Amino acid sequence: MRTTEKAFWALAVLLCVAVVVFLSGIRIVDQGEVCAVTTWGKITHTVSPGFTWRWPLVQFYRCYSTRAVIYETSDNVEESQADYKDYVVEANTTDGQQIGVKYSISVHIKEGDATYVYTNVGKDMSEVIERVVKFYSRSVVRLTMQEYQADQLYTGDVFEVQSGIEQKLSELFTENHVVLNAFVLRKIDFDADYVQTIEAQQIAKEKIETAQYDAQAAVFSAQQTIELAKGTAGAKVEQAKGDAQAAIINAEAEAKAIALRGQALEQFPQVLQLNFIEMLKFANFMFFPSDTITPFFPLPPTTK
């Protein structure tokens, strides 16, 4: 009976060990991951997302992200939402200004590159970030900033700087089988004194531009006044010309009328007598020329 009990408990223990070994060997690879499997330290194969099983203590999974992960530099590392966080890169411009550079990098590993990355770069994604992303990006950013003067970075085209850094990093990352999705130059911090100086210069420049604009507006207004005066003077000249022409025409017409009346009197002297008689209708008194002046008082008209 004791032998049977011993055999029973031994079988039970073996069964429990088998269950524990089986359960401990279960591994579920998440969607967005690829894992290199090592057996006794040597890569034997890779596994894709899904349910898998490995020999405990013999086989290990070295996984990498096939989805984008973010590496970011910032002032407040604790508040950053990036997957991998780091401090601001301190750099100097070509004219000696100290700046702080904040940027973000998005990377991932291709599924077929897991074996190469494990063998040549890092045994997990954290080592890849440390040895490739962090190592190259901080160096390239620092060296690139030394190619520019501070005012070029403060008021210039930062997208051109960003594009240049992204191109350099893409080449370096590709050599290590790390895919660069994007490089974003978020912000460049300048010394407070430098910012104050630049802002003062900008204000002075704006004042100069405003003064130039006001001067141009004054010139335009003066020119407009001159043109209006020219127009008014021209109108008066034209009006004077018109009045003079009208006077000339009236004078010529009157002269012609007098000439015509003179010609008519020469041809028809009776017209003068007729005019004289017509004038008598409106006269109150009249003097007739003679050797002695005799007054003439017209009688009031008789009524019919």
Give residue-wise pLDDT tens across range 89-144.
999 999 999 999 999 999 999 999 999 999 999 999 999 999 999 999 999 999 99
Question: Tokens at residue 272, please?
Answer: 């003068």
pLDDT digits (tens, 9 = 90+) for 53-68: 777 878 888 999 999 9
Domains and CATH numbers, the chain: 12-63 (no CATH), 69-190 (3.30.479.30), 268-296 (no CATH)
Instruction: Point out which residues pair with 286 in neighbouring strands.
Output: 296
Confidence (pLDDT) at 297: 47
pLDDT digits (tens, 9 = 90+) for 183-211: 999 999 998 877 676 666 666 766 677 76
Confidence (pLDDT) at 304: 46
Q: Which residue has the higher pLDDT, 290 or 189?
A: 189
Instruction: Identify the band that residue 247 occupies on the pLDDT scale cut at 50, 70 and 90.
Output: confident
Confidence (pLDDT) at 268: 61
Percent of the chain beyond pLDDT 70? 75
Question: Tokens at residue 35, please?
Answer: 């894992």
Mean pLDDT of the chain: 81
Burial of 194 (0-12, 13-18, 19+ CB in 10 A): middle
Distance of CA 121 to the CA centre of its chain: 42
